[in-house]
Chains A and B, each alone.
Chain A
């Protein structure tokens, strides 16, 4: 590098430093200059950002004095960051909230009770699915407006299902039981093929050299795998809302055992070494490269399947277990931070995001189901255009469902559950022992 270019570099560097510092000084605390208010909106899903931005643009047009900045952080960092921000009293004015964290936040007083605002502005809560509205309620306090909902169903590769001579209806009407696996395991056996073309129920099947599996399961906490089987087996994760964890009761352990059997006894599910989180293969990838014909996943992931399969996938209902059908039903809310300096404007944003106009804009992008049931048809219409029938998700939601456990110990559960259950799927630990350990540790962390 010549002396001249070095000087230029030094000059450039110095000026950027000065520029940066002045910009920094100028920006701090200027968020309400001249009657204009800047709101911060915290979200974690990059896929939903473009549609959300459209809705925000419409909001800003209607409220010329308010600017909204979306702050995107991935799920993996979102909660750590949000809680650090809350400790520093610098959390976003409005943010996505999850049932897993809501009880703890409500207890810590970092959420604003929306009911006075709702009453003053005469917001009609009956447009929402009542299950969702109730999920964000504690006593007579409303800690967020429902944003969306999701269920878990079976996503399948159309080509692979056709090759095996099965239809979506076949896949939607299956049953399982812990003794012989039922028609569910039979269908998966049809979809599982080893290198020489044999199925697991045929003699000479080589479980070490499987070309494609019937099923792939992966979940860091159970939502997209064993919680659903557990519900179908009559297991309750908690004795009551806000109560103790009960994942070690027999009906739960039996379901966990069945998930292990799918891999290790029936050889119809992709081995855990491939799918275990955090670094296992992504389910859309497993389906796209034909490692498995069927995966269990949430409706929020549809876009990821579209990216890699371009319409060559469908959605079928989960099977019924000994206790019937069942899936995990969940949703997010838009919450108002109790430390917001602009609660009135932030409420306007929350209200807008929960309005029919805003949800219409977002639903048109097909990323998540809307919290207002009358708009569900828009979501269905979007996916019909892509050649995918997504009605299984809404059918599942109408049947038996469980929600996320309501407890203050979700963070502990989420940290403690990953490793022992990964061990169960690998066959290194018994379902009973894993369930006992996680149950004890999670209950010990409950605070009241």
Chain B
């Protein structure tokens, strides 16, 4: 155990000079001491026995199709005829395709709109919920309900909400004397609308994870801070936020991966328009694969999206690794 990644990581972090982290209740990794050889063999057999169903699903239904995609990305194939090997042609075409790079920009823009808004809102909600308000439990349930919304069903509701003349949003704004924009026809507003729909759906869900993190912070730390005269915002920035980092990392990593793969809302609401302003990578992949039936090219685009997600996730890990006792591996 001492030689594996997780052990090394915890040790690194414990040595980290960041003082805020050392106040964290550092949980030691499971101290299963390196087993003797015979037990090791038994453990290996047991482990693989336990893993068999999960591995079966993993290899057959995840890894194999992924390998399939990698292979297809080197072919020109419309699903019907026989595939034609084209080497790196799909990847070469990709580098010169301005629509692809527009979709990369759109995706990054969407993530940049969505993630901060959702995370900050969820954090504020979690802080409010953590105060033990009366009726808080009911409110909490209501906030989480949007999470289970079914995209096919909600398309109708959103087009009612954002219709420029009869829509609920603009009718509400006109009560305030503001004349609302033509939301989904505007290259400026279409993407923020899509992002806000996503924020609506997932803020409550994200809040649950952050609330859990907040509740795990020992009250004694705050009491100690009170004695030291640390109050208000200082309390938040010096105790709450640092101790929330593990939850933050989890929430950010999973939400960012989800945001990069956003599809339903674009499909239902805009089909990538107006003027390509909401053509995200996953939608572009869908269009190439299932509308234009350029399966090989779409597979190459999927590789690009994967590389992008991998990069962004790695950056998040590196950032948090320096500051967190998150024992990931």
Residues of chain A at the chain B interface (Cβ within 8 Å): 79-80, 83-84, 86-87, 108, 110, 271-274, 276-281, 289, 291, 411-412, 414-415, 418-419, 422-423, 426, 428-429, 445
Contacts and interface: CB of A to CB of B under 8 A. Distances in A.
Interface string B266-293: 0011111111100000000001001111
Most buried by A among B80, B166, B186, B268: B80
A422 B163 CA distance: 16
B155 interface: yes
B290 A80 contact: yes
A422 B279 CA distance: 15
Given A419-B276, A426-B185, A278 B164 contact: no
Contacts of B275: 419, 423, 428-429
A289 B166 contact: yes
B117 to A, nearest CB: 22
A411 B293 contact: yes
Interface string B33-72: 0000000000000000000000000000000000000000
A272 B164 CA distance: 10
A419 to B, nearest CB: 4
Contacts of A412: 292
A234 to B, nearest CB: 30
B229 interface: no
A97 to B, nearest CB: 15
A418 B273 contact: yes
Contacts of A280: 159
Given A87-B79, A110-B80, A279-B158, A415 B276 contact: no
27 contacts: A79-B291, A80-B290, A80-B291, A84-B79, A84-B290, A86-B80, A87-B80, A110-B80, A273-B182, A273-B186, A274-B164, A278-B269, A278-B271, A279-B158, A279-B159, A279-B270, A280-B159, A281-B163, A291-B166, A412-B292, A414-B291, A415-B287, A415-B291, A415-B292, A422-B185, A426-B185, A428-B187
A423 B164 CA distance: 16
B227 to A, nearest CB: 44
Contacts of B269: 278-279
Contacts of A272: 185
A84 B286 CA distance: 13
Nearest to A210: B165
A84 B166 CA distance: 39
A79 B291 CA distance: 8
Contacts of A108: 80-81
B184 interface: yes
Given A273-B182, A274-B164, A279-B268, A411 B274 contact: no
B80 A279 contact: no
Nearest to A220: B271
B274 A426 contact: yes
Contacts of B155: 279
A279 B272 contact: no
B80 A419 contact: no
Contacts of A278: 268-271
B298 to A, nearest CB: 12
Nearest to B288: A415
Nearest to A272: B185
Interface string B148-167: 00000001001100111110
Nearest to A105: B80
B280 to A, nearest CB: 14
Given A79-B291, A412-B292, A418-B273, 18 more contacts: A80-B290, A80-B291, A83-B79, A86-B79, A273-B182, A274-B164, A276-B274, A278-B270, A279-B162, A281-B166, A411-B293, A415-B287, A415-B291, A422-B274, A423-B275, A426-B185, A426-B274, A428-B187
A273 B164 contact: yes
Contacts of A423: 273-275
Most buried by B among A280, A289, A419, A428: A419
Given A84-B79, A419-B276, A428-B274, A281 B159 contact: yes
Nearest to B290: A80
Nearest to A416: B292
Nearest to A208: B179
Contacts of A83: 79-80, 293
